Amino acid sequence: MVAIKTEMKLLPECCDYCQWYECRPHPYRGWSEGCGLMMHCMDDGQPEEWIYDGNGRPKACPLIEIDAERRQE
């Protein structure tokens, strides 16, 4: 597992509000949505855990909230 420190105060409810969400023109498919943090496409045709339908976040989203004060022993 890789952990990063970010200035996010709250986890976004959906990708549209995430600082790493990207929507770019694709030469063959129109627009393509992607996760800039994981560098992964979230369009149809991807593994099910990465498909973003506009609601919530994909199942494979790596963002989770952890308690920075709690340390593993």
pLDDT digits (tens, 9 = 90+) for 40-59: 999 888 899 999 988 889 99
pLDDT of residue 35: 93
Check whether 72 has a pLDDT greater than 60.
Answer: no
Q: CB of 25 within 8 A of CB of 68?
A: no
If one counts every other C-beta atom within 10 angstroms of the C-beta of residue 23, the result is 12
Q: Which of 67, 48, 66, 60 lies closest to 15, judged by CA?
A: 60
